[in-house]
Amino acid sequence: MRFKTLINHPADWIIGAGAQHPVVITSRIRLARNLRQFSFPGWATKQERIELLDLVQPSLENLSVMKEAFSQSMNQLSALQKQVLVERHLISREQAARGEGSAAVISRDQSVSIMVNEEDHLRIQSIVSGFHLHEAHQKIADLDQELEEILPFAFDREWGYLTACPTNLGTGMRASVMLHLPGLVLSQQIGQALNAASHLRLAVRGLYGEGTESLANLFQISNQSTLGESEETIIESLERFIKQVVDAEMSARERLLKEELPLVLDHVGRAYGILTHAHVLSSKEALSHLSMLRFAADLDFLPETAKSICDALLMKIQPAHLQMQTDDELDPSQRDHIRAEIVRAQLQSLGSPVKDNGDRSSNDPFLI
């Protein structure tokens, strides 16, 4: 599959049915796996990394899930293409910095992606829309088994799967969900709600994982511990906590609607007003307003289609996606203009009236 084909196809986890969950955007599982008798990528010479890649790439491409997959060595991709894959959460920022000897193998529907020679020999990820950790885990467990039959994984009876970094030792598994929590943020309860995560050895991160800030009321929560517990136990513990956060978010939304309706209307109204009328829009500002529109759709202030339009835009308006779309190297100021144009155009199609109000049509002299 060519890069263009991959990019023009919206990821399954964006358009999938699970995308309709009001809080959990995606569920993700990744496994770290290494091959016996090969140095970890950080210790291996370039030649050794190339040898390992040559060995595993055909096996990965032959996996049933990888039919017509996208499979490229990092040095075959431009900086912009790599950045697009990062924005889609298909490779890590670390992998994007690598070249020959490292690769990405990505399934056609983008629900499974495998990085070769990132921190470990293999980083296998399964991502599904909505709150479906078990489904994501089942998918990746099947794949893991399929691979285990053909590749000699480094496994120790006492320690489990061996990994480059001890924090991944054992299951080698990281389960994570991306949560949209505008209710908790607006009612200033977010700190309290996520506070318990650290006691449960769960990590809270921003939109792009470790060390990134929270944007657009999006929070990534994942397990920190990989040792001494089974995959199932880890997932169930994460799932229990996420259920609590989802409940807290839903209560916060209910309370906001009951007690602070003008505040909510003001936030979502302004977001809509700005997105449909701005002509200069930074990525950060657009994300934050789109978050409010998604919230508005959840609250039935906008037609149901608004949610998928927002989710698609959240992806499209990011810097590399924007440049890829326009086939142009754009400087940040040009990007801000084109981003505003794309957002205005897309949100125009939201024009159908809301159920509880018969006539909302109007002539807006600025809607162009």
Q: Which residues bind a copy of itself (CB under 8 A)?
A: 262-263, 265-266, 268-270, 272-280, 301-303, 337, 340, 348, 350-354, 357, 360-368
Spatial separation of the C-alpha atoms in residues 173 and 48, rounded to whole Å: 25
Amino acid identity, position 35:
L
Q: Least Å distance between CB 272 and a copy of itself?
A: 5
Q: Minimum distance between the CB of residue 362 and a copy of itself, rounded to whole angstroms?
A: 5
| Alpha carbon distance 221, 232 (integer Å) | 17
> Which of 225/334 has CB closer to a copy of itself?
334
Nearest distance from residue 160's CB to a copy of itself, in Å? 52
Integer Cα distance of 210 and 274 in angstroms: 31
User: SS3 for 33?
Assistant: strand
For a copy of itself, the closer of residues 51 and 260 by Cβ is 260
Radius of gyration in angstroms for the set of CA atoms belonging to the chain, rounded to a whole number: 22
Residue 24 vs 342, nearer CB to a copy of itself: 342
- Minimum CB distance to a copy of itself, residue 310 (Å): 13
Residues 6+ apart with CB under 8 A from 228: 170
Burial of 216 (0-12, 13-18, 19+ CB in 10 A): buried
Nearer Cβ to a copy of itself, position 41 or 183? 183
- Considering the complex, state which of residue 149 and residue 331 has its C-beta at the smaller distance from a copy of itself: 331
* Shortest distance in whole angstroms from residue 336 CB to a copy of itself: 9
Between CA 321 and CA 350 the distance in angstroms is 22
What minimum distance in Å lies between the beta carbon of 81 and a copy of itself? 28
- Residue placing its CB nearer to a copy of itself in the complex, 157 or 360: 360
Q: What are phi and psi of 35, to 5 degrees?
A: -95, 140
The token pair that represents 127 in the structure block: 């991502």
* 221 Cβ neighbours under 8 A, 6+ residues apart: 176, 177, 179, 194, 197, 202, 203, 204, 205, 238, 241, 242, 245
- Give dist(CA 110, CA 12) in Å, integer: 6
Pick between residue 162 and residue 350 the one whose CB is nearest to a copy of itself: 350
Return the number of other C-beta atoms located less than 10 Å from residue 155's C-beta.
14
CB of 85 or CB of 286, closer to a copy of itself: 286
Question: What one-letter code names the amino acid at 117?
Answer: N
Q: Beta strands of 154-242 (E only): which ranges?
A: 155-156, 160-161, 173-180, 202-205, 218-223
Cα–Cα distances (Å) from 281 to 80, 292, 334, 340, 342, in that order, read 20, 15, 10, 5, 10
Of the pair 228, 351, the CB lying nearest a copy of itself is at: 351
